[in-house]
Structure formats: C-alpha cells, structure tokens
Amino acid sequence: MVKKRERLEVIKDILKSIREKRNIKPTRLIYASNLSPKMFKEYVDELTGKQFLKEEIDKDGKKTFSLTSKGQEFLEQYRVIENFIENFGL
C-alpha cells in the first residue's frame, strides 16, 4: 500500500511545482500536485490565506499561481522543519 503523504509533504509538492513552472495554471498544478480537485482547493485556499502563494491573472486573462517570499522561505526551510519534527518526535 502506498503511504499517505503527510500534510507538509503535500504543501512542499505544491510549492515546488509552482517554483519550477513559475506562473502555473490551476489544471497543471492539480496534475502536478497529485490531489483530488476538492483537496487541491482546500490546500490552495489555505496556502493563499497564509500568504505562501498568490493568484494572478496572466495576459490571456487566465488564473495562475506564483510563489511569495514566504512560500520560498518554506521550501528553503522544509528539510529543517522535517528534521525538527522527526528528531523531537513531534
């Protein structure tokens, strides 16, 4: 059985996809993050609310996502956060 991804891992995958593709469209991000549309919406709403990513409109009038500095910081610190949780048994 495939291990369920932890919440932090899902967030990392979403933010990493945005960083790699830059202004990524929602359909491509759903595909890249490997989530159901319902779960995807929940995560995106949470990450937008916490200012990890922002929604933008491109020149064709389509919605795209881009990373904020806080989202960037999360990706840089992800390994530290993961180690902290693991090592202190949190």
Partner 1 sequence: MPIYKAIIENKEIVKIIYALIIVFICFLITLKAHRLFRLSFHSGIRYFRNAFFFYGLGFAARYFLKFISADYFLINPLFEFFLVMAGFFLLYSLLWKRIDSHNPRSSLLNRRIGIFYLMAIIIILLDYVWNVPYFMYSAQIIIFLFASIISYSNYKKDNYKNKFSRFYFIAMVLGLFAWILNALAAVFFSWNQMVLINIYLLNAIFFLLFLYGVVKVTKT
Positions in the binding site for partner 1 (CB under 8 A) = 8, 50, 70, 73-74, 77, 80-81, 83-90
* Closer CB to partner 1, 55 or 73, in the complex: 73
Residue 16 burial (CB count, 10 A): 16
User: At its nearest, how many Å lie between partner 1 and the CB of residue 78?
Assistant: 9
* Closer CB to partner 1, 11 or 64, in the complex: 11
Mapped onto helix, strand or coil, the DSSP state of residue 38 is helix
What would the two tokens of residue 86 be?
A: 């693991």
| Calpha distance 6→66 (Å, rounded) | 23
User: At its nearest, how many Å lie between partner 1 and the CB of residue 4?
Assistant: 12
